[in-house]
C-alpha cells in the first residue's frame, strides 16, 4: 500500500548502512565526504577548544564521561580545532549528516586508521573486549576535551540534583538548540541539529550534532597525511552508498499542479507526509487525512497520509501514485489541513459536503 512505500525504502537504506558500517572505510571514500568539489556539502559548525589535547566523543545527554563514550588514546596539541559536517541532501529523505570532522592540520589524508580508546593502540583493535566505538542513545553525538567532559558531567549532575523532576533535553537543551538553529539555520530543523555550546560562565565548549540515522554505536578514524602526521579525525555515521537502493518514482519527476515558486512558508515543522497524485498533480483538495504512528527513530516522519478521497484499492496499490512531501508543501495545496496537523497518531479526518473537516470516528491509524 502507498502508506508504506517510502518507509520501506528508508528501512532498506538503514539496513544497508548497518552492513556498510561494519566494513573498514576506504581512504578515497572518507576523503570524498569532505571534498569541497565533490558530491556532498560541508558545513563548519564551530571550533572545539582542547585545552589538554585529549579528545572525548560521546552522547552528550547520557554517555559523556562514562564507559560508553570514547576517550581517545592519541592526542593533539592543545588548541582550537574547527569541526565540520559532511551533509547529504536527498530529494526524498532530506538532509542527514554523513560524518563529522575535526581538522588538525588542513592536509588531505593518505590513509586512515581506527581511533583507539585510551589505553589501547591500533595493534589491540581485534583483541577480545576492546571496544573502539562510542554509544549514542539520544540521537546526538558530541566532541570535547577530556577535561571539559569531567566538568560538564559535574554540571549535569548538579542540574539534575536541582531539577529532579525535569528532563535534561526537554527542560534545558531544547530551548538552547532551537535558539541556536534560529541563529544558524543552515541544515537545521526547527528543533536544531547541531550546536556549539559553552558551559555556563565559561568558554569551555562542547560541539554536538545529530548522529546520522540516530542511535547506535559509531567509530572514529584518524586521517594520516603523507608525513605520517595526524591531519584530521573523522566520525563516521552514514556510508553514502547506503542510498543506492531501488527507488520508486521520485516526486520531482512529476509535473505538479503548483509551481515551486508558488509555495509559501506556511509551516516550519520540517516533517514529511505522504500524498497522492490526485492532490499534488491533479490539484484536488484533501478529502481524507489519517495519521499513522510516526517512526520514533526518524523525527522527520509525521505519520500523515493525505488522500483526495476517491482513490480505490487498485489506485493505492500503484506506488507511482504516491509521493513524500514536506508538510508545508501539502499545506500550500490545501491550507485547511493546518489546524489538524497536531492531532495525535490514530486520528483521521474526512471533508464533509459543506467543505469542513470532521473526525472519522472509525479510524484506527490507517485505512
pLDDT in tens, the chain (367 residues): 444 677 788 889 999 999 999 999 999 999 999 999 889 999 999 999 999 999 999 999 998 888 889 999 999 999 999 999 999 988 778 899 999 999 999 999 999 999 999 999 999 988 998 889 999 999 999 999 999 999 999 999 999 999 999 999 999 999 999 999 999 999 998 899 999 999 999 999 999 999 999 999 999 999 999 999 999 999 999 999 999 998 776 545 678 999 888 888 898 777 899 999 999 999 999 999 999 998 776 778 899 999 999 999 999 988 889 988 999 999 999 999 999 999 999 999 999 999 999 999 887 644 4
For residue 177, report the phi and psi dihedrals to the nearest 5 degrees. -70, -40
For residue 350, give every residue at least 6 positions away whose Cβ sits within 8 Å of its Cβ, in sequence order, or none.
287, 288, 309, 357, 358, 360
State pTM to two decimals: 0.71
- DSSP, res 166: S
φ and ψ of 97, to 5 deg: -90, 115
In 3D space, the residue among 232, 240, 260 whose CA is nearest the CA of residue 329 turns out to be: 260
Nearest-angstrom CA–CA distance, 213 and 341: 24
**DSSP 8-class letter at 108:** P
Helices then strands, counting H and E runs in the chain, come out as 8, 19
CA distance 348 to 361: 8
* pLDDT number for residue 249: 60
Scanning the structure block, which residue is given the C-alpha cell 592526542? 75
Round to whole Å and give the CA distance between 142 and 113.
20
Q: Which alpha helices (DSSP H) does 44-108 contain, by range? A: none
Maximum Cα–Cα distance across the chain: 75
The pLDDT assigned to 364 comes to: 60
Task: Tell me what pLDDT residue 367 has.
Answer: 43
Asked if 28 contacts 112 with a C-beta cutoff of 8 angstroms, the reply is no
**Cα dist from 127 to 71, 122, 135, whole Å:** 18, 10, 19
Would you state the pLDDT for residue 1?
41
Amino acid at each position: 500500500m502507498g502508506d508504506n512505500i517510502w518507509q520501506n525504502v528508508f528501512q532498506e537504506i538503514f539496513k544497508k548502512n548497518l552492513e556498510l558500517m561494519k566494513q573498514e572505510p576506504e581512504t578515497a571514500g572518507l576523503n570524498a565526504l569532505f571534498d569541497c568539489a565533490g558530491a556532498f556539502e560541508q558545513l563548519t559548525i564551530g571550533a572545539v577548544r582542547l585545552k589538554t589535547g585529549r579528545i572525548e566523543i560521546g552522547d552528550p545527554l547520557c554517555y559523556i564521561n562514562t564507559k560508553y563514550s570514547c576517550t581517545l588514546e592519541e592526542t593533539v596539541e592543545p588548541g582550537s580545532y574547527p569541526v565540520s559536517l559532511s551533509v547529504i541532501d536527498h530529494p526524498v529523505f532530506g538532509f542527514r549528516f554523513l560524518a563529522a570532522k575535526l581538522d588538525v592540520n588542513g592536509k588531505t589524508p593518505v590513509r586512515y586508521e581506527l581511533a583507539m580508546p585510551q589505553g589501547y593502540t591500533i595493534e589491540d583493535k581485534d583483541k577480545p573486549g576492546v571496544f573502539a566505538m562510542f554509544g549514542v542513545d539520544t540521537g546526538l553525538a558530541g566532541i570535547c576535551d577530556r577535561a571539559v567532559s569531567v566538568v560538564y558531567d559535574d554540571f549535569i549532575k548538579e542540574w539534575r540534583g536541582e531539577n529532579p523532576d525535569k528532563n535534561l533535553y526537554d527542560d534545558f537543551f531544547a530551548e538552547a538548540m532551537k535558539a541556536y538553529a534560529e541563529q544558524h539555520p543552515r541544515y537545521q530543523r526547527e528543533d536544531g541539529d547541531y550546536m556549539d555550546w559553552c558551559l555556563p560562565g565559561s568558554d569551555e565548549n562542547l560541539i554536538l550534532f545529530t548522529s546520522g540515522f540516530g542511535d547506535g554505536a559509531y567509530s572514529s578514524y584518524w586521517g594520516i597525511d603523507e608525513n605520517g602526521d595526524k591531519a584530521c579525525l573523522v566520525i563516521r555515521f552514514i556510508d553514502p552508498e547506503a542510498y543506492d537502493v531501488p527507488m520508486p518514482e521520485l516526486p520531482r519527476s512529476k509535473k505538479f499542479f503548483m509551481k515551486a515558486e508558488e509555495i509559501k512558508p506556511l509551516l516550519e515543522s520540517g516533517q514529511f507526509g505522504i500524498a497522492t497524485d490526485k492532490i499534488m498533480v491533479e490539484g484536488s483538495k484533501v478529502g481524507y487525512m489519517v495519521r499513522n504512528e510516526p517512526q520514533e527513530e526518524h523525527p522527520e516522519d509525521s505519520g500523515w497520509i493525505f488522500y483526495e478521497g476517491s482513490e480505490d484499492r487498485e489506485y493505492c496499490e500503484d506506488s507511482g501514485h504516491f509521493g513524500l512531501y514536506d508538510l508545508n508543501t501539502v499545506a500550500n495545496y490545501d491550507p485547511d489541513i493546518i489546524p489538524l496537523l497536531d492531532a495525535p497518531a490514530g486520528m483521521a479526518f474526512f471533508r464533509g459536503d459543506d467543505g469542513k473537516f470532521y473526525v472519522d470516528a472509525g479510524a484506527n491509524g490507517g485505512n
